[in-house]
């Protein structure tokens, strides 16, 4: 299913660039290949997730989509992930993910997908809404990424674009040949002009963003909506009119304090309202982090449910008003607040872990340094992919992105 590129729509608290047609504003969660104890998920586990997601009480829409990090079933080299079986049974739409960091081949990923399509045919093909070639690879080889995790394994733009070409070639005559291809990364990876080749190569871009990790930027919960907007608007400005999907965002209900950010159920609910309800839900494809906790190494827990109960930890119903000043973001132009001030960026984003999910052992549990996102399975502690930290490298990123917001296009600066 192909999305429209640059229609704009006014909604909720203010106007912003809609990044897909109204019928394509997917609601979903992220789902890795492993559980908290690092054991593999199988069909029954995915079925439980997808069923709960679609039955959440008070939800502002039907969460009938899922973002996967790999096509490969844990404990195997190239068997199709059993999430495919569960998705077909529950009619759950799928944003596919192919793991691309630390590897010179995506053959096993493509083999697993081909096997899944052969098994399920049109039933699976019709559920696939997009394909992400990689997740936060560009961040992990950036100055900020290497500072946060010197041992992190990522991939540069030449690797990502090569894999994109390979995937398109391999599936050119398949039932998913028209499915839009994208890449997921942090906002400061997208505003970095050296990564322009990836923007040119994709149909859409995915952004991971967690204001919770914005240490040094006044990241208290009341400022979380503004921090998110700044990063999101900068990403839209850098995208050159291509659709931007929010592939990860969320707020922990328990965990360590991070700067001014405090993990709590109350704050998780507030973030759901100020970011999800005000800016994202039913407006742009959104994959929340997360429905269930699946990473025992994480120092924060993000699950909006307890043991996959359809009764969430907090009220999911959207309020009638919001505290965050609304922003206006053209998909190709300047991001500003409604008060007329230019939106300074500098909001960091999440990260995924660094371990490939495709090995035959119980792999796939990436371990990131500061974000909760995943590498094929639930990644470890939230890695700071882009969390632009308070160091010099992040300040440089912030300056560059500020210029992006002014001039309306990131790559014009490089």
CA distances (Å), origin 160, targets 68, 188, 207: 18, 17, 16
Q: Which of 109, 136, 209, 214 is catalytic?
A: 136
Cis peptide before 290 (omega within 30 of 0): yes
DSSP letters spanning 231-253: HHHHHHHHTTT--EEEEE----S
Q: 197: number of CA atoms within 13 Å, CB side? A: 12
Token pair 């890449």 is at which residue? Answer: 183
Q: Which of 49, 209, 248, 274 is catalytic?
A: 248
Give CA–CA dist 53/253, Å, rounded.
Answer: 18
> What is the token pair recorded at 38?
């690092």
Token pair 């999101």 is at which residue? Answer: 232
| CB 202, CB 167: distance < 8 Å | no
CA distances (Å), origin 172, targets 175, 180, 181, 304: 9, 12, 12, 38
Cross-strand partners of 10: 15
| CB 347, CB 228: distance < 8 Å | yes
Give CA–CA dist 320/241, Å, rounded.
Answer: 30
**Measured torsion, CA atoms of residues 117, 122, 127, 130, in degrees rounded to the nearest 10:** 60
**Measured torsion, CA atoms of residues 321, 325, 326, 328, in degrees rounded to the nearest 10:** 170
Give CA–CA dist 143/136, Å, rounded.
Answer: 13
Helices (H), 239-294: 265-271
Helices (H), 194-342: 196-201, 224-238, 265-271
Annotation says 77 is catalytic: no
Annotation says 248 is catalytic: yes
Give CA–CA dist 404/101, Å, rounded.
Answer: 27
Measured distance between the N- and C-terminal CA atoms of the chain, rounded to whole angstroms: 33
**Catalytic machinery residues:** 136, 248
């Amino acid at each position: 299913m192909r999305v429209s590129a640059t229609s704009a729509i006014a909604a909720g608290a203010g106007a912003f660039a809609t990044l897909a047609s109204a019928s394509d504003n997917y609601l979903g969660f992220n789902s890795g290949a492993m559980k908290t104890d690092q054991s593999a998920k199988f069909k029954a586990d995915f079925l439980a997730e997808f069923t709960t997601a679609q039955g959440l009480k008070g939800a502002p829409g039907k969460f009938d989509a899922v973002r996967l990090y790999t096509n490969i079933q844990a404990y195997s080299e190239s068997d199709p992930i059993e999430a495919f079986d569960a998705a077909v049974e529950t009619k759950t739409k799928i944003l596919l993910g192919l793991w691309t960091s630390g590897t010179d081949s995506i053959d096993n990923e493509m083999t697993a997908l081909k096997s899944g399509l052969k098994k399920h045919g049109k039933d699976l093909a019709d559920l696939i809404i997009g394909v992400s070639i990689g997740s936060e690879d560009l961040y992990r080889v950036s100055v900020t990424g290497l500072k946060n995790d010197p041992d992190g394994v990522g991939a540069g733009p030449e690797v990502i674009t090569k894999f994109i070409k390979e995937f398109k070639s391999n599936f050119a005559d398949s039932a998913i040949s028209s499915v839009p291809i994208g890449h997921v990364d942090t906002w400061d990876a997208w505003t970095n002009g050296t990564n322009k080749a990836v923007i040119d190569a994709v149909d859409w871009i995915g952004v991971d963003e967690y204001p919770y990790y914005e240490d040094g930027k006044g990241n208290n919960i009341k400022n979380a909506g503004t921090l998110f907007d700044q990063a999101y608007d900068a990403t839209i400005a850098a995208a050159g009119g291509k659709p931007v999907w929010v592939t990860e965002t969320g707020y922990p209900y328990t965990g360590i304090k991070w700067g001014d950010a405090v993990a709590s159920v109350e704050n998780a609910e507030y973030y759901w309202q100020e970011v999800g309800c005000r800016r994202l839900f039913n407006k742009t494809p959104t994959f929340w982090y997360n429905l269930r906790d699946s990473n025992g190494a994480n120092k924060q827990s993000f699950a909006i449910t307890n043991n996959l109960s359809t009764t969430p930890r907090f009220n999911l119903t959207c309020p009638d008003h919001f505290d965050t000043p609304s922003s206006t973001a053209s998909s190709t132009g300047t991001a500003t607040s409604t008060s007329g001030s230019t939106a300074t960026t500098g909001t960091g984003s999440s990260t995924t872990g660094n371990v490939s999910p495709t090995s035959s052992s119980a792999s796939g549990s990436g371990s990131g340094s500061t974000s909760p996102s995943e590498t094929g399975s639930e990644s470890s502690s939230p890695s700071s992919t882009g969390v632009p930290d308070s160091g010099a490298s992040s300040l440089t990123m912030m300056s560059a992105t500020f210029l992006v917001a002014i001039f309306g296009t990131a790559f014009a600066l490089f």
